[in-house]
Amino acid sequence: MTSVIPTQEIAEIRGLSVRFATDAEPVDAIKGIDIQAHAGEVLAIVGESGSGKTVTANALLGLLPETATMSGAVIVRSRTGDETDVVHASPAKLQAMRGRDAAMVFQEPSTALNPVYTVGWQIAEGLRAHHHGGKLSKKEAKAKAVEILRKVGIPDPDHRVDDYPHQFSGGQKQRIVIAMALVLNAGLIIADEPTTALDVTVQAEILELLRACRDEFGATIVLITHNMGVVADLADRVVVMLRGDIVEQAPVRELFANPREAYTRELLAAVPHVGQGKSALASIPEPAEGTSSAAPAGSLIVARACDIGYPGRFGRGGVVAVKGVDFHVGPGEVVGLVGESGSGKTTIGRAVVGLTTVVGGSLTVLGQEMKGVKPRQLAPLRPEIGFVFQDPATSFNPLLSIAECIAEPLVVHGRASSVAAARARVDELLDAVRLPTNFGDRFPHELSGGQRQRASLARALALDPKLLIADEPTSALDVSVQAKVLELFVQLQAELGFASLFISHDLAVIDAVSDRIIVLQRGTIREQGTTAQVLNDPRDPYTKELLAALPVPDPVEQAERRALWQAVRRS
């Protein structure tokens, strides 16, 4: 492959300002910033939602909407030294630059991939668009697609090149999107939150692949993220943004060791990591709790050799997703359920509220046996169980105000005759989750992600439930917002005394809230015990792999952990 120009910036932003026209006043999203991405480096741009980091990334490719007005200079250089001034380039010039000189790896690969075309066709599409000097044959395009799929680690690429996006896992889809970015040998790869929705082990694999993009393909990477652990693992240099401006920029080790600005220190302090939560409260790890241990009296959830599955359709056999699990959730206890996608975490949470079928063994929830349960038997349980969803934006009705959304369970269960009658209770709940009471008159889209998650927590607590199911409630939030939501959860749980099954793939988040931890893999329990025991003295190799894959916000320590993770994987 063509070598990278060693002495020149691959991307250069000078005095960039971006203003968006709105129905009200114009919004200044970027305010005269200067950034250089040097050849062969990973430049991380970090900040909270609304800081302008994604707008900056889109500006590099000229992907801003028509409502945006850009001023300043955005220069992208090819591997051969050709320049494109994105601000003033014609549409044809921009089209020629995209994919060939610079490519984007989007946050959500499911929306970046077209579901009606095979992945091989979509990879070859970029080759066809930029191919000059004769028509590229289907055979040649397919061979190049197979080659790049092999390089990004897709197993059996000769056959899988003809598969569709839905036939791949989330981590594999992200690899395919990276393959699309690499197939034309682009010198600049912009990765916008490429690991946000991924499990820690899959995230570690994608970070290894991005590192290979730099080291083996010679690409310069601009990494957009709010995860400071990812920054510590991958970045060479860091730019910190806040409200459209640059707060601080420095080499990664210098920034983490000696952050100059208060905002940078706040970002680093907000990152949860193992050893700062409940695992730090016990100095001596307790012995592992056996899966056959008796549940204490008054336990709200008791599972014994429980199988949970999905019925088959059109005469096909069903799928048993969770097999023979034994666990319990005691009164006033927070139990963390952790594992990768497909491990059965959400399936268990759905079974607890009667949304998934118990096909074997026993699952008792608040004294009700869930195997063979009828809908009318579940009705008395509904007010006793709250549910906090992963994405409150899709769980709220966009046509209802926040007050109407929170009041809905009160009205449905006869605790209030109308939304107006429930308003006093709604205001009380908003106050409890640290939201101003006038937010009740706003609609869901008018709240930030963290505010919506607080409102979702208020709705879940509206009926004073005995049990709360929290399904990945902080996975999509910025680190500072996540820290506030977790702190709020711990405070409310201590004040109200509800028990909780807290589902997450992030062991650092689990450490912050849980008294005990259950580790799941492929529908079976690999390990369970107190938070201190599981995190300080893990017994199962899979738990050790999860812990080793979790990035920490310290470049020096993270380099050691990366080596440990690679050793664990090889063993």
Helix (H) / strand (E) element for 238: namely strand 237-242
Question: Which stretches does DSSP call E strand in 371-513?
Answer: 385-388, 467-471, 499-504
Structure tokens at 375: 């809908």
Q: Which residue has the tokens 């001023």?
A: 71
CA-based nearest residue to 79, from 220, 187, 218: 187
Q: Is the pLDDT of residue 404 over 90?
A: yes
- Which residues, other chains included, contact 460 with Cβ-Cβ below 8 Å and sequence gap of 6+? 386, 387, 388, 468
Q: Is the pLDDT of residue 293 over 70?
A: no
Cα distance between residue 520 and residue 338, in whole Å: 6
Contact (CB, 8 A) for 343 and 518? no
- Which residues, other chains included, contact 245 with Cβ-Cβ below 8 Å and sequence gap of 6+? 31, 32, 33, 52
Structure tokens at 497: 């005394």
- Going from the C-alpha of 122 to that of each of 102, 119, 125, 372, the distances in angstroms are 17, 5, 5, 46
CA-based nearest residue to 60, from 41, 92, 40, 37: 37
Provide the angle, in degrees to the nearest 10, between the axes of the packed helices 423-432 and 449-460: 120
Q: What percent of the chain has pLDDT over 90?
A: 31
Q: What is the CATH number of domain 279-549?
A: 3.40.50.300
Q: Is the pLDDT of residue 289 over 60?
A: no
Under the banding of pLDDT at 50, 70 and 90, the label for residue 146 is very high
What are the residues facing 209 on neighbouring strands?
A: none
Fold that domain 1-101+187-271 belongs to in CATH: Rossmann fold (3.40.50)
Domain boundaries, the chain: 1-101+187-271, 108-185, 279-549
Q: Is the pLDDT of residue 477 over 80?
A: no
Q: What's phi and psi for 222, nearest 5 deg?
A: -105, 110
Q: Which residue has the tokens 């336990």?
A: 299
Per-residue pLDDT tens over the stretch 429-476 = 998 888 888 888 988 888 877 788 889 889 998 998 999 998 888 876
Identify the pLDDT of residue 24: 76
**Sign of the alpha-carbon torsion through 224, 226, 232, 233:** negative
Cα distance between residue 309 and residue 320, in whole Å: 4
Q: Is the pLDDT of residue 372 over 90?
A: no
Identify the pLDDT of residue 65: 87
Tell me how many degrees the CA angle 277-280-284 measures, rounded to the nearest 5.
145
Query: Which is it for strands 357-365 and 368-369: parallel, antiparallel or unpaired?
Result: antiparallel
Contact (CB, 8 A) for 482 and 312? no
Under the banding of pLDDT at 50, 70 and 90, the label for residue 134 is low
Mean pLDDT, the chain, whole residue set: 85
This prediction has a pTM of: 0.78
Contact (CB, 8 A) for 300 and 467? yes
CA-based nearest residue to 499, from 329, 295, 320, 339: 329
Identify the pLDDT of residue 1: 39
Mean pLDDT of 39-65: 89
More confident residue, 393 or 403: 403
Q: What's phi and psi for 238, nearest 5 deg?
A: -130, 135
Contact (CB, 8 A) for 526 and 520? yes
- Which residues, other chains included, contact 207 with Cβ-Cβ below 8 Å and sequence gap of 6+? 195, 230, 233, 234, 551
Which of the residue ranges 165-169, 280-284, 364-368, 496-500 would you say has the lowest mean pLDDT?
Answer: 280-284
- Which residues, other chains included, contact 317 with Cβ-Cβ below 8 Å and sequence gap of 6+? none
Q: What's phi and psi for 162, nearest 5 deg?
A: -100, 5
What CA dihedral angle connects 288, 490, 521 and 350, to 10 degrees? 130
Identify the pLDDT of residue 43: 94
Contact (CB, 8 A) for 33 and 16? yes
Identify the pLDDT of residue 203: 83
Contact (CB, 8 A) for 471 and 503? yes
Q: Is the pLDDT of residue 286 over 70?
A: no
Per-residue pLDDT tens over the stretch 78-132 = 888 888 999 988 888 888 888 888 998 887 788 889 999 999 999 988 888 776 5
- Going from the C-alpha of 525 to that of each of 325, 345, 507, 542, the distances in angstroms are 6, 10, 16, 11
Number of other residues whose CB lies within 10 A of the CB of residue 288 = 16
Per-residue pLDDT tens over the stretch 304-360 = 999 998 876 666 667 888 999 999 999 999 999 998 877 888 889 989 988 888 988
Structure tokens at 31: 């305010």
Q: Could you check whether 1-101+187-271 and 279-549 share the same CATH topology?
A: yes
More confident residue, 399 or 571: 399
Identify the pLDDT of residue 314: 62
More confident residue, 281 or 522: 522
Q: What percent of the chain has pLDDT over 70?
A: 93
Which range is most confident: 16-20, 212-216, 452-456, 542-546?
A: 16-20
Identify the pLDDT of residue 415: 87
DSSP-assigned letters across all residues of 7-39: TSEEEEEEEEEEEE--SSS-EEEEEEEEEEEET
Per-residue pLDDT tens over the stretch 222-268 = 999 888 888 988 899 999 999 899 999 999 999 999 999 999 988 88
Contact (CB, 8 A) for 495 and 488? no
Cα distance between residue 531 and residue 509, in whole Å: 11
